[in-house]
Amino acid sequence: MVTGSVVLVLVAALVGWAALPERKSWTSSDQRLTVLSGPSGTEPVDLDTRFYLPSGADGKVPAVLLGHGFGGTKNSVSDDAESLADRGYAVLTWTARGFGTSGGEIHLDSPDYEVKDAQRLLDWLATQPQVQTDAAGDPRVGVVGGSYGGALALLLAAQDPRVDAIVPLITWNDLGTAFFPQSASGVTTPGVFKKSWAGLFFGSGSSSADSFLGGNAAAAPAPTPENPACGRFAADVCAAYLKMATTGTPDAATTALLKRSSPAPVLNKIKAPTLLIQGAVDTLFPLSEADANARGIAAAGTPVRVAWFTGGHDGGSGPQTDQDRTKFLTAQWLDHYVKKDGDAPENSFTYSRVAGFSALDRGLVTNGYSDPTYPGLGGTGTTNVTVSGQAQEIANPPNGNPGALSSLPGVGGQLSSLIGGVAGDLAGQHAEFDSAPVADSVEVVGAPSVRMKVASPTGSATVFVKLYDVDPNGTATLSGGLLAPVRLTGLPADIGAAQPVTVTLPAIVRRIEAGHLVRVTVATSDQAFLTPPDPATYTVAVEPAVTLPTVVGTPIANPQVIWRYVLLAVLAVIVVGLVIVLVVSRRRLRRHDAPTVDEYAETPLVVRGLRKAYGDGFVAVERVDFSVERGQVVGLLGPNGAGKTTTLRVLMGLTMPTEGDALVFGHRLEPGSPVLSRVGALVEGPGFLPHLSGLDNLKAYWRATGRPLEDARFDEALEIAGLGDSVHRRTKNYSHGMRQRLAIAQAMLGLPELLVLDEPTDGLDPPQIAEMRRVLKRYATDGRAVLVSSHLLAEVEQTCTHAVVVNKGRIVASGPVDDIVGESPSVQLEVSDVAAASTVLSTLGVRSVTPDGASGLIVDMNGTPRTELVASLVQAGIGVDRVVPRRRLEDAFLALVGDNSRGSGDR
């Protein structure tokens, strides 16, 4: 019991950030601030800012300066800003110079420009009456940012002692090593140019393209650049990129510029306690960048904590369980060091790895672990595996074409799953060295290493070393799409004369299961890097010992840990609940005179005496009786709290009625009932597996029904969805409207005889709504039927043949829409001459004539027949283009529910 209680408390803390109040507990204001920066501190630049203040704050509050990623704007971090404001912080976000609508040029976090801009923002915070200060001009402030914003946090803390704490995420230590990585120890040769990421980096600063570097699309188009070759980059930054992209090696000026924009030279000046959060799925800034930052800051005696998570530039923010953990760590760090609230965070190292899928949220979940001290990239222990293989010859293709495919910017870590689990190593261009299957599982946490020899007739070679986890079926997985680039010079032509070099591979967090083998691959090309243009043949050999760093971490409580502790209790509760439900259901069934199957065998839906009351006394449905016949599209209407959603939940067997029942083709709807195969439904909103494409989600759903694949009618469903090529994208990248359209298509798979839809047009744009109207009308042909719940009265009027109006749990009207509406008291006219038409109509005894646009009139007819109105206008020589009843169903609806339509919300 004690252990279970501790776990529950830990999880409550972990999800505290995610479970913040939904109410808006803050206000925000946008303004443009002009700050002075540049080498002289006198150059003005306009910055687009947003300031968040917690509502009802008692006195002054601490502040957070929140930076965005490269290519983003202040809007990119709005969610995080709102969460921090909810926690009681004043939050200042801004669009960095050169992006969005801010002025200036991009200087890559230059101390003279972007960093000085941030210093002036600190000055501004100190003048705000709501912000707590430590001294005049010194705000109590933490600095948080990801990628571009993370490096800014480090550089600002080194340059300005007013910063009280920083949380840099997925950022760099040295841009030179990040873009020219060299994985061979003791080699002074410049590394291999990371051309794909550099190109995207430069491209996202040259236009308003979406950012893969921790930002989102700009809020507004960027100003037209003066130099189309450089976009909004400063001239020296542009020249540096053009130079290194052309030659593949950095000259002295480029090296100096990259060093200027790197935290590496100034880490010893950082006195603000630092929480470094870095992603294990990141081919841009891998875990080694955070490791270098941690070592440099800790050397100066500054408190440092390191957290690795299963995400990054290639893996996004990671699974929800990891997001909860990193958000908790951030809040804990800021609360202690900035808000001065709570105990000092433990100086422990935390990390995570993917543990599987959650049946609850249908997404990846991670297990978190901690270690009392940060072990660096070498782990707290090592496991050695032995690989075998003779020296092998591999060919370097001219200009790197064709090239192997191990990672793509923004996709990297997910690439292996996208192309079937195997990265694209090409025949003749790579050598493989395999181990025997490992006897026991190995928890790899850190940077593996291997020693190898390379010989080249040209005296130099560029190779890429990879570590694969190969399962018993032969499927090889490259963790995070990560590899080790190696550029060597002074090589002999004979492998026998080659000297071994130690290659440190990128740090990973991976469990290599027992029975899997380890594979070391050495390749000559990779599409993410710039390789030698001349063809050549290298000879490579790998020494047998491969060192795998390990850490035996302590598990961190998360929802999966809770599940393990309370699983038996939950199962017991479920069993008891099922027994109670079965007993109650049997008693209810005995109370009803069950109709014969034949009586309603051809009626899609019959609802009889439906009532739903809850234990707290709330009655969601008082009494509902209606039917849906073949060929009908029936709209279920009612104000909030009327009982619509509860009625649909009962119909689909998602909740049990207190009284009454629902019959589908003469069968009572119960969970698992065979008649459910004749029903398609969208109730409770769409739910899809985020790692699968839209099409794969549909196929998985259909396979779960156990029916033949040819019966699914995928072509019709996909036509209904209207997603085009997006149906092949993962649903985690879908917008709300796209998910809604896919959910409707899923409900229509197999063209079921009864279709039940709850708010089907939610999230759709007007053209999609119009198409949905046509789809539903067509669908009810050939003996099928549709029941649709909607609050869009105009759509119900144009779509439905019949309507059921519910108010306060009772039906107040039902039948054909035309019968419910009756004769409309007003019409909408489109005429050729509005002024002349108004004069003619005013003589006919109508109550009012109101202009409606350039050619329209709204006429309250006051009993005058529509035919008389039209005839009078035509006789006067006025063209009548359109005559339609106005607000027909809305008028009837309001007349039926009146002013007593407010409920307590559907349950």
For 511, other C-beta atoms within 10 Å of its C-beta total 16
What single DSSP character describes residue 213?
Answer: B
User: Domain with 637 in it: what CATH number?
Assistant: 3.40.50.300
Which of 795, 820, 845 is the last residue in one of the domains? 820
* 142 and 40, same domain (yes or no): yes
Amino acid identity for residue 901 in this structure: S
pTM of the model: 0.63
* 546 and 603, same domain (yes or no): no
Which of 820, 837, 856 is the last residue in one of the domains? 820
Which of 554, 582, 607 is the last residue in one of the domains? 554
Across-strand partners of 106?
A: 233
User: Domain with 549 in it: what CATH number?
Assistant: 2.60.120.260
Please state whether beta strands 90-95 and 63-67 pair in parallel, antiparallel, or not at all (unpaired).
parallel
| Residue 312, phi-psi category: left (phi > 0), alpha (psi -120 to 50), beta (remainder) | left
Structure tokens belonging to residue 234: 């400063």
Averaged pLDDT, groups of 10, the chain, 907 residues long: 26 32 72 96 96 85 96 91 93 96 95 98 96 96 96 98 98 95 89 88 56 40 61 91 88 93 97 96 95 96 95 81 87 95 86 68 71 94 95 92 78 46 73 96 96 96 95 89 94 96 96 95 93 94 97 73 38 49 48 54 88 78 89 84 78 79 80 76 74 84 80 81 80 80 87 87 73 78 84 74 84 79 71 86 83 80 79 82 65 56 43
SS (H, E, C) 730-755: EHHHCCHHHHHHHHHHHHCCCCCCEE
SS3 of residue 306 by DSSP:
strand
For 389, other C-beta atoms within 10 Å of its C-beta total 15
Q: Would you give the distance in Å from CA 369 to the centre of its chain?
A: 24
* 366 and 396, same domain (yes or no): no
* 301 and 439, same domain (yes or no): no
The CA distance from 545 to 21, in Å, is 54
* 538 and 607, same domain (yes or no): no
SS3 of residue 57 by DSSP:
coil
User: Domain with 850 in it: what CATH number?
Assistant: 3.30.70
Angle at 132 between CA 128 and CA 137, to 5 degrees: 65
* 704 and 748, same domain (yes or no): yes
Residue 442 in domain: yes
* 779 and 667, same domain (yes or no): yes
* 272 and 407, same domain (yes or no): no
Across-strand partners of 588?
A: none
Contact of 727 with 693, CB cutoff 8 Å: yes
* 550 and 510, same domain (yes or no): yes
Residue 434 in domain: yes
Residue 456 in domain: yes
The CA distance from 44 to 56, in Å, is 35
User: Domain with 56 in it: what CATH number?
Assistant: 3.40.50.1820
Structure tokens belonging to residue 367: 């297990």
Structure tokens belonging to residue 475: 């499927």
Looking at the structure of the chain, the number of domains it has is 4
Residue 134 in domain: yes
Residue 19 in domain: no
Structure tokens belonging to residue 680: 């398609």
pLDDT in tens, 163-202: 999 999 999 999 999 999 999 998 888 899 998 888 887 7
Measure CA of the first residue to CA of the last residue in the chain; give whole Å. 34
| pLDDT attached to residue 152 | 98
Structure tokens belonging to residue 881: 């283009």
Give the burial class of 765: count Cβ atoms within 10 A of its Cβ; 0-12 exposed, 13-18 middle, 19 or more buried: exposed
* 728 and 785, same domain (yes or no): yes
Query: What is the Cβ-side half-sphere exposure of residue 754, based on CA atoms within 13 angstroms?
Result: 25
Contacts of 648 (CB under 8 A, 6+ apart): 636, 683, 756, 758, 787, 789
Contacts of 339 (CB under 8 A, 6+ apart): 62, 88, 89
Contact of 633 with 789, CB cutoff 8 Å: no
Structure tokens belonging to residue 434: 């395999």
The CA distance from 54 to 85, in Å, is 5
Torsion angles phi and psi, residue 398, rounded to 5: -65, 130
Contact of 121 with 35, CB cutoff 8 Å: yes
The CA distance from 8 to 16, in Å, is 12
| pLDDT attached to residue 858 | 83
The CA distance from 648 to 634, in Å, is 13
Residue carrying the six token digits 């430590």: 134
Residue 233 in domain: no
Residue 641 in domain: yes
Contact of 482 with 505, CB cutoff 8 Å: yes
Please state whether beta strands 43-54 and 26-37 pair in parallel, antiparallel, or not at all (unpaired).
antiparallel
Q: What's the helix, strand, coil split of the chain in %, to 5?
A: 30, 30, 40
Encode burial over 21-41: b for 16+ CB neighbours within 10 A, e otherwise: eeeebbeeeeeebebebbeee
| pLDDT attached to residue 233 | 92
* 317 and 431, same domain (yes or no): no
> Domain span at residue 446?
382-554
Residue 222 in domain: no
* 532 and 671, same domain (yes or no): no
